[in-house]
Structure 1
Amino acid sequence: MSENKGKEVAIPVPWGTVAAQSWGDGQGEKWLLIHGWLDNSNSFHYLAPLLSQRGDTVIAIDLPGSGHSSWLPQGLMYHDLEFLGAIHRVIKYLKWVEFGLIGHSLGGGLALTYAATFPEQVTHLIMLDITYLPVRPLTPPQFQLRIRQAIESIELAEAKFGTGNGKVYKTKEDVRDRMMQPPVYLRDEGVLETYTPESADILLERGLKEVEGGFVLRRDIRLVLPSIHHIDWNDQREQAKEIKCPHLIIEASKGPKSKFAHSMYDIYRLNPKFKQVDIEGLHHVHLNQHQTVNKVIMDFLDECDRNKKAKL
């Protein structure tokens, strides 16, 4: 796996650093890659080097609390929308004026919201098995219940784990076996698997830390708690109207589904530069079937380049 690793980057932020991997020499088009919930920048183990082979510059970040990035200070909650502030800090640090965004799952939703909020910066938007910014799993939609569970759950987590990562696993294989079991919310939707063993190992290479007695996941346990707020559905639809750049969504046949997610397509199709591609596969299709997904992405970018040259 080491041959696909990028150069380690540490981007300073007020609470520590946002860790990232970089590929390329600073030339060509620029790409920021954003992983999904509880994953890390190794999510783009196959795609990032391929983009750099085009002559492009690629940065894949670990979101705060994930991978090698700093955790938020104790006592604070993680709000997915606030990841956008961290992404903006990264962009300002890199001094990028224009760039493309690629995100998987939660990362795709964050890329969408960023592109709608800062449209002058984003040249391309590619979303992998997501069509909107999702609600964090196990977050109740009801206002009072959501607030109560978010507040009580962080208190329980602090009492149980203190400032630790959570459960200690005796072996790496134990962690992988746990990863291969989808959480209850996915099983209730009929999703019985998301990773292959090879994909799980790729993510664990960056997401695992050895401690006394075994191994722990590097991610902050607070990331699994209910979120105290989420973006309103009407706001989601409004932001979809703001996407004018070339926009690709790749949807996996066996990934999580929802009626709301598919309702977004009618809005996206108003953009003549929008394309949707369905692929047979699991939610982490970009890792499990990377050759198929990467070909779709490269073909899309080639088509964008041809369209751009035709207008010059």
Structure 2
Amino acid sequence: MSEIAVQDLTLNGCSSSAADASVGISRTTEEIQIPVPWGIVAGKWWGSRQKQPVLAFHGWQDNAGTFDRLCPLLPEHISILAIDLPGHGKSSHYPKGMHYYIFWDGISLIRRIVKYFGWSKITLMGHSLGGALSFMYAAAFPDQVEGFVCIDIAGPPARDHRKQAASLGDCIDKFLYYETLPESKMPCYSYDDAIDVVLAAYDGSVDLQSVEVLMQRGMAPAPAHSNKEGYHFSRDLRLKVALMGMLSLEQVIAHAERIKCKVLNIRAIPGLHFENQEYYPSVIEAMKKSSARLIYHEIPGTHHIHLVTPERISQQVSNFLLETNVS
């Protein structure tokens, strides 16, 4: 059974700040590290360690802090493990010489985490890139996913392959430049300047308070041996050229048709702009045909709706997780 719902949550013409959503359940959190061949994958575990958590994944160049405002609004008995993807937040960067193929690497990463903890069936939640990874894992292992929540993405965004081919050489040169950039030339900022840089880069998708939440994991003091004072961004610069392994619309739909589990898709309006206008409705339609149940909501908000105005989606996410038998 599938369900399509379009919600108008305009709040009488008033914007609702993230501070309004800060009153939630007081929950314990614990920093964890998962060993991987290139170092560690860091994470933030919300709730009891005695319960299998929902695995949560952030967007491109964000980090696990992206869920810091949503998690306190979800049912207290549901544990959540928010992961810093490789090269993001507190997780290890890939070794030199390795590219990030973010829409493919994430499938292996989720599989590593599942095998590390010995789980047989999982529930996933993701924003943007993290939602695309949840989608891809559910397609790769359709009988081992109970359900997943996708926030402002349907699956990996479909890319015009002619544009991708035209930009390939430039991407390779940028990758080699970032790989060989000496630490002495790494940008270093005062705290306020770093926050301003990030706020401007997100171009209205986040507010000041949200940036400060993300940067708790997204920046670190400059190393003492660098002879610089201030902060640098902790993410791997090579992530800026991590979009070489993108999929065509046909590939995305082929994966969508393999998904069997329950799906909650929340699309923010206006949210993120996708260059292929057929992408979102086509992928949702494909999942409707194959998934056990698809719930689709359109809710007013920016691309980072879960971080800036989490109260607008917390009930939908809570209901879905409860209905998906998350213990």
Question: Does the alignment pair 1:225 with 2:248?
Answer: no
Residue 68 (structure 1) aligned to one of 81, 87, 90: 90
CA change 1:20–1:302 in 2 (3 A) is closer
Q: State how far apart, in whole Å, the 2-side matches of 1:59 and 1:165 are.
A: 35
Q: How high is the TM-score relative to the length of structure 2? A: 0.82
Aligned to 2:253: 237
Q: How big is each residue's C-alpha offset from its partner over 1:10-67, in whole Å with a ceiling of 9 and x where there is no partner? A: 10110000011112324445310000000010111133344461x2332111000000
Question: Does the alignment pair 1:154 with 2:165?
Answer: no
Q: How high is the TM-score relative to the length of structure 1? A: 0.85
Deviation at 1:269, TM superposition (A): 2.4
Residue identity opposite 1:293 in structure 2 = I
Aligned to 2:148: 125
CA change 1:237–1:140 in 2 (3 A) is closer
Question: Does the alignment pair 1:116 with 2:136?
Answer: no
Question: Does the alignment pair 1:289 with 2:309?
Answer: yes
Question: Does the alignment pair 1:90 with 2:118?
Answer: no
Question: Does the alignment pair 1:251 with 2:270?
Answer: no
Residue identity opposite 1:273 in structure 2 = R
Residue identity opposite 1:148 in structure 2 = G
Aligned to 1:173: 192
Residue identity opposite 2:174 in structure 1 = S
Write out aligned runs for 1:202-213 (5 A). Answer: 202-211=213-222, 212-213=228-229
CA RMSD of aligned residues (A): 2.4
Aligned to 2:36: 13
Q: Is the 2:150–2:266 contact (alpha carbons within 8 Å) kept by the matching residues of 1?
A: yes
Which secondary structure does the structure 2 equivalent of 1:253 belong to? strand
Aligned to 2:59: 36
Identity of aligned residues (%): 31
Residue identity opposite 1:200 in structure 2 = V
Deviation at 1:82, TM superposition (A): 1.3
Q: Is the 1:44–1:60 contact (alpha carbons within 8 Å) kept by the matching residues of 2?
A: yes
Aligned to 1:301: 321
Q: Is the 1:67–1:207 contact (alpha carbons within 8 Å) kept by the matching residues of 2?
A: yes
Q: State how far apart, in whole Å, the 1-side matches of 2:86 and 2:144 are.
A: 22
Aligned to 1:278: 298
Q: State how far apart, in whole Å, the 1-side matches of 2:157 and 2:184 are.
A: 27
Deviation at 1:99, TM superposition (A): 1.4
What are structure 1's unaligned runs of at least 5 residues? Answer: 184-191
Q: State how far apart, in whole Å, the 1-side matches of 2:52 and 2:110 are.
A: 18
Aligned to 2:46: 23
Tell me the matched-pair count: 292
Q: State how far apart, in whole Å, the 2-side matches of 1:213 and 1:282 are.
A: 34
Residue identity opposite 1:225 in structure 2 = V
Q: State how far apart, in whole Å, the 1-side matches of 2:273 and 2:165 are.
A: 26
CA change 1:157–1:236 in 2 (3 A) is same
Aligned to 2:7: none
Q: How big is each residue's C-alpha offset from its partner over 1:89-138, in whole Å with a ceiling of 9 and x where there is no partner? A: 111111111111000001100110011101222111100011111369xx
Q: State how far apart, in whole Å, the 2-side matches of 1:135 and 1:164 are.
A: 37
